[in-house]
Copies of this chain bind each other. A is one copy, B any other.
Amino acid sequence: MTNDRGTLVVISGFSGAGKGTVSRKLVEEYGYSLSISATTRKPREGEQDGVDYFFKTEHEFLSLVDYNGYIEYAQYVGNYYGTPRKFVEDCLKEGRVVILEIEVQGAMNIRQQYPDAILLFITAPSASVLKNRLVGRGTEEPAVIAKRMCRAVEEAESISVYDYIVNNEEGRIEECVEQIHSIIESESCRVSRRAEFIAELKAGLAEGAD
C-alpha cells in the first residue's frame, strides 16, 4: 500500500542523539530522499556544498525567500537556514518518502504547512545517558556543558509537538533506524492516509454483485 502522494518525515532530537547518522542510514538502507538545507553559514572543514548543505550568500538566500523558495527558514546565531521547497515538492509528487532533519521551530512550521507530515523525535534511553553524552569526555568548559544542558531542557519541552519519540541507544543504531522505517510503513496504513483506496473500495462494492 503506497501513497500516491509521498510522505514527509521530520527528524529532530537532542544534540548528540545521532539524528544525522540515523537520517543517512535511512537513505542508504531504504532509499528515502534526504532534503538538504540551504544556509548562509560558512562551510566547516570537510563539509561539501550540495551534500551537507547548499552554501549560499545572504543575498542568494534572501532572493529565494522572496520567491517562496523555502518551505521553512529561520535565523540562528546570525545565519540563515532553510529547507528548499522544490526538492521536497518534487519528491512528494513522485510519491517518495522525504526526510527533513530540522530543529523544533522548523518542525512546527512543517506541521502547519503539511499536516500529514510524520514528526519524529530521537532521544537517548534516559536523562542520565543523555547528560553523559552532553558532558562528553570531561574536557569541555563547564559553561559549554551548562549551555548544552539548558538547550536539552528546552528541547525536551518541545517533544509534545512530535508524533513519535524513538530511542537511539549507544551501539544499537540499527534498531533505531529499523524502528523509524517501521513507523513510516505503519503510517502508510493509516485510514487518514488511505482515503483514495477506501473511496475506490466503497465505489467498487456499491456497484453491486456484478
Q: A residues near B, CB below 8 A? A: 1, 121, 123, 126-128, 130-131, 134-135, 142, 145-146, 149, 152-153, 156-157, 159-160, 162-167, 179, 182-183, 185-187, 189-191, 194, 197-198, 200-209
Contacts and interface: CB of A to CB of B under 8 A. Distances in A.
28 contacts: A1-B167, A121-B191, A126-B201, A127-B201, A127-B203, A130-B201, A130-B204, A135-B209, A149-B209, A153-B205, A156-B201, A156-B205, A157-B202, A159-B201, A162-B191, A164-B186, A164-B191, A165-B189, A165-B190, A165-B191, A165-B194, A165-B197, A166-B189, A179-B185, A179-B186, A182-B185, A186-B186, A186-B187
A186 B200 CA distance: 27
A123 B142 CA distance: 58
Number of copies: 2
Contacts of A123: 201
Contacts of A185: 179, 182
Contact of A205 (B130, B190, B191): B130
A159 B192 CA distance: 10
Nearest to A207: B127
A52 to B, nearest CB: 28
The listed residue with most B CB atoms (<10 A of its CB), out of A134, A167, A194, A209, is A209
Q: Which 9 A-B residue pairings sit nearest by Cβ, starting from the closest?
A: A127-B204, A186-B186, A183-B186, A164-B189, A149-B209, A156-B202, A182-B182, A153-B205, A127-B205
Contacts of A146: 209
Contacts of A198: 156, 159-160, 165
A160 B191 contact: yes
Contacts of A156: 198, 201-202, 205
Given A149-B209, A198-B156, A209-B145, A190 B164 contact: yes
